Structure 1
Amino acid sequence: MTTVPRLTITQDNEFWFEAAREGRLLIQRCADCGHLRHPPGPACPQCRSFEWDTVEASRQARLHSWTVLHHPKDDAFTYPLAVGLVDLPEGARLVADIAGVDHDQLHIGMELEVGFAEHAHGETLPQLRLPGTEAR
């Protein structure tokens, strides 16, 4: 039995988790000013509008920064765990774990793609990997 808590899914982010289960990466967009925001939220941080829609991202990504985690350990992941911050061509940023890349091969600006992998309770989360590779 896992001790990892379930993800918190709310009315503000439910669309995102549903799309992830379908293998799609949706980014929330303000319907008034067009600002992209991730993670999803109830109001636009730029103009404070509550109106929004979504943009489907290409899943292409460029590594902006990363870290390799050793502690504290979460039963849902294998350690050491590389976690990256990537720039999406649509203009948003995303944080996700990096799979299938040796940590010493990571470098700022490298091309990655967003895939999806199953989490501890069967939830689906994004996972960064080399373009054209499958999740491990």
Structure 2
Amino acid sequence: MTDTSYNKPLPLMEGLTKAFYDFCAQGELRFQRCTDCGAWRHVPREICAECSSFNWEWAQSSGRGTVYTWTVVERALHPAFGSSAPYAPVVVELEGGVRLLTQLSDVPPSELKIGMPVTVDFKAVTPEITLPYFKRA
């Protein structure tokens, strides 16, 4: 379901970033994986930080991970987030090691715990953009 009231900044839909969000719109969480050394990476880029290879694929993630860290924003720095405060940007560490900055859709900041198991929860925020949020597993 698309939230037509979404008024927060959105990713630029171009290049490798667009490819990442196109997969999200299909209900797939995919990250780049080097086909030479097997290293996963995010944010998408052309070259592997581990072995400097230009060979990679879009590999599907299980969408399962754990809360790695978070912070609670009491006073938003961007006006579009003002009515959402307090909120907690969360870093989720996914199976495979990729870390993704996101939000949990069903956990208030006071209930967050390091190591909490989570799973991807896609939210279509505009007709073109689906964001990967997470929820308790």
TM over 0.5: yes
Could you say what the CA RMSD is over the residues aligned between the two structures, in angstroms? 2.3
Select which of 54, 78, 83 maps to 1:73: 78
**What is the number of residues matched between the two proteins?**
131
**Aligned counterparts, 1:81-120, within 5 A:** 81-119=87-125
- What amino acid is the match of 1:42? E
Gaps of 5+ in 2: none
Compared with structure 1, are the counterparts of its residues 66 and 90 closer, same or farther at alpha carbon in structure 2 (3 Å cutoff)?
A: same
Select which of 5, 19, 28 maps to 1:15: 19
Q: Deviations over 1:31-79 (max 9, x none)?
A: 2211100111111111222221022111111011011223113526722
Which structure is higher in strand share? 1
Higher mean displacement: 5-14 or 96-105 = 5-14
- What amino acid is the match of 1:49? S
Which structure is higher in helix share? 2
Q: Residue 2 of structure 1 contacts residue 75 of structure 1 at CA under 8 Å; is this kept in 2?
A: no
Gaps of 5+ in 1: 132-136
With the length of structure 1 as denominator, give the TM-score of the two structures. 0.83
Give the % identical residues. Answer: 29
Compared with structure 1, are the counterparts of its residues 110 and 3 closer, same or farther at alpha carbon in structure 2 (3 Å cutoff)?
A: closer
With the length of structure 2 as denominator, give the TM-score of the two structures. 0.83
